[in-house]
Structure 1
Amino acid sequence: MALLLLGLVLWLGVVWPVAAQSRGASVTQMRLENGDDGVYLSATVQFELPTLVEDVLDKGIALHFVAEAELYRERWYWTDRKVAQVSRYMRLAYQPLTRRWRLNVAPVPITGNAGFGVSLNQNFDSLDEALDAVKRIGRLRLGDVAEIGEDGQHPVVFRFRLDTTQLPRPFQIGMVGQSEWDIATERSVRLAVEKPR
């Protein structure tokens, strides 16, 4: 029994890290910057689209990505207090008639029923160009300098994920147990507010 348990632990030690890395998404850069009208977070995410997901895009099904950031103020006498929270929603779709890629970016979820509301729209000639825009999360406004403060380092949590709940229902049912759809990453760091360049 002990030998079987030892074998299981060794197997998990080899397989578990490989499974955790197979998702392939990572945050490669994060920084806080003091702008004219507030404090902004910029981040860069690195991931590769699996062939299965790329095929779905080629068929005209839109993919939805979500980037979220939370900034905390440290307190020595209690848990850290959340000072700011911001989200960015991105919808990437292929336009077969124009053979171009369209990226919609909005501060609220982009749903097909409610239209796109207030969103930034960009068109790209290739999927690589469109994905580069999705991977660069620029200038997420966290709040005013007076609320956040310029001194010291601030704990920041950044999350990025493919929102599979926005896919059509047949895809949601069919993706159960398929790791190709699990594009997500989270990073927690302490950042100082940088002066504008």
Structure 2
Amino acid sequence: MVRENRLVSYRARIDPATTQALACRSAITWALALLLVWLTIASVAAETIAVRSALVRPTEDALVIDAEFDITLTAPLEAALLRGTPLYFALDTEITRRRAYWFDDSLPSAQSVRRLTYSPLTSSYRVDTGRTLSGSANYPTLEEALRQIRLIRGRSLIDKKELRNGAIYEVSIRLRLDTTQLPKPLQVNTLVSREWSLISDWYRVVVTP
């Protein structure tokens, strides 16, 4: 009889407010778990440009870079390309001179842009470097066209006379899809879906000319 009274007394302490709080906490836990899964999937899907290698080397006149990237177009971007939307890939570079007792000194560096298009009439892909007409070429497959974008050879970064002998320089590079060049309706997609934004992490190389 005493045990029954204790059981009844214990149950009486579990009021509706406590039950509601526990249910709310459980719902929040599930929501956070689903958010974590979504972010993980989105992060994996967004890894469509990666730096494979990069080498900064001096020549007689300039500091140049050789680099190689891995590029994978997402399904929406490839579909847009086949419908006639040009894709612009920008190689961003930053050069800083390290200083021991002051802030690092930033040096000017030019941006390199390559334009990828598709021609349904010839079923071929075209890559334009933006420098000269001789820098444009057609390719029968998307893989061959992307190879011309992901391989950087002898890209001039800065004139050698702008550098100081014995100084330490940090060169940072990344490759990205320039979404500002997309048509306005497609630019909206970049705000709601990561499949429309391709960008690599910054890759840093330290060099002493």
Write the letter of the residue equivalent to 1:106.
Answer: G
Partner residue, 1:38: 62
Aligned residue among 19, 24, 34 for 2:42: 19
* Moved >3 Å (runs of 4+): 1-21, 149-153
8 Å CA contact 2:98, 2:167 repeated in 1: no
Partner residue, 1:112: none
Shift, 1:136, TM fit: 1.1
Cα distance in structure 2, aligned partners of 1:157 and 1:150: 20
Aligned residue among 51, 54, 57 for 2:78: 54
| 1:33-67 per-position Cα deviation (integer Å, ceiling 9, x unaligned) | 11232110222121211111111111121111111
Greater share of residues in strand = 1
User: Matched residue pairs, number?
Assistant: 185
* SS at structure 2 position matched to 1:76: coil
| TM-score, normalised via structure 2 length | 0.74
Check 1:174–1:20 CA distance in 2 against 1; reply closer, same or farther (3 A cut). Answer: closer
Partner residue, 2:104: 80
8 Å CA contact 1:28, 1:44 repeated in 2: yes
Check 1:149–1:118 CA distance in 2 against 1; reply closer, same or farther (3 A cut). Answer: farther
Tell which structure's C-alpha radius of gyration is larger.
2
| TM-score, normalised via structure 1 length | 0.79
Cα distance in structure 2, aligned partners of 1:163 and 1:5: 37
8 Å CA contact 1:72, 1:83 repeated in 2: yes
Aligned residue among 133, 154, 160 for 2:175: 160
* SS at structure 2 position matched to 1:102: strand
Shift, 1:140, TM fit: 2.2
Is there any run of 5+ residues in structure 1 with no aligned partner, and where?
A: 108-116
Partner residue, 2:6: none
Partner residue, 2:160: 145
Which sits farther off after the overlay, 166-175 or 71-80? 166-175
Cα distance in structure 2, aligned partners of 1:74 and 1:43: 23
8 Å CA contact 1:101, 1:127 repeated in 2: yes
Check 1:148–1:118 CA distance in 2 against 1; reply closer, same or farther (3 A cut). Answer: farther
8 Å CA contact 1:32, 1:193 repeated in 2: no
